[in-house]
Structure 1
Amino acid sequence: MNKIANLKWNDLVSPTMSSDEYLKTYSDKIEFNYKTYEPKPEVLAKITELLKNKEEKLNIVALGADWCPDCSLNIPRLIKIVKLLNNKNLDLKILYGIMVKALHKPGETLWHKKRSPPEAVDPKFDLKAIPTIYFFNKIEDNIGIIVEKPKTSSTLEEDFLEIIENGL
């Protein structure tokens, strides 16, 4: 799990959606992925215990787009994990609307500067693929990111656990 040292929660300037707003807005595309995902209960229990013991506030933002298949798969899964954790010190926001710059040249940003939220092209966010899920602690420091999908042979909740074990 990587993290971005100089990225802060307050670097997020665009309007975001709550998980409920996201589920309502994109229900036709993501309902199946949300309903059928079954996170590992033992991993959720470890996350719950860790958050309780650390008395930590955790802010999460997922950047993505409705055209992206990995976003339609993994953001609903993330929402399911957060809802099952049911922790008042855990806040998830979703920032959608990332657009690809189709004719980008090597070395240029992949994201369309005018049609995407500013976070997509802000070097602080270092956005390489979507979805990218950023985790922030109570002092608003970035403690880890998940880019596109969980690591090989891992689940989203296992990557989530690894980030908070190493970052909180």
Structure 2
Amino acid sequence: MIRIVTAGRMARLEQEAEQARDRARDVQAQADATWGNHVRELYAVTDRAERAEATTSEVGVLLAGAVAELSAAQQELLLKDIEIRRLREVLESGALVERTLTVLMHYGEPHTVYATREDALADTATHGVPAGTAWVPAGERPASASTWCVAAFIYDADCKGYRRALMPSPEPVGGAA
């Protein structure tokens, strides 16, 4: 079958084809814009995910450090709790009676308290006293006359406190004996 196409019909077909090409260009431009937006969003999401991973890694390191510090603090607390219980048992058992403490004094002022005289003498090197220094009794001299001296104290149950183990002889009042 032969169809006769008129010039008007041909013009309409060309116009419809041009409109279809314009529509295709518009749709292609919209598709390109949508694809560009999608790619930009993909890059932004990827960047956020990478930053989140880095932050998670940093937080993990900080958390590990905090857990280690917490563990050390808990161990220290446990040791202190054990020491407190031991000291309470000693206190409640009455083992303080006749127990001595040694006080390291600097110009007559208490500086450090030690459980034994040996501990006090061993620690004096950290305070500038040369190792091997001969320690002599203070005698009747006041403690303030010596740079460093050690004094022994014993627990006195009558007064519920410590007193010097070696008390200086009392001076007679007003020359009376």
Output the TM-score relative to the length of structure 2: 0.20
Higher helix fraction: Structure 1 or Structure 2? 2
Output the TM-score relative to the length of structure 1: 0.20
Larger radius of gyration: 2
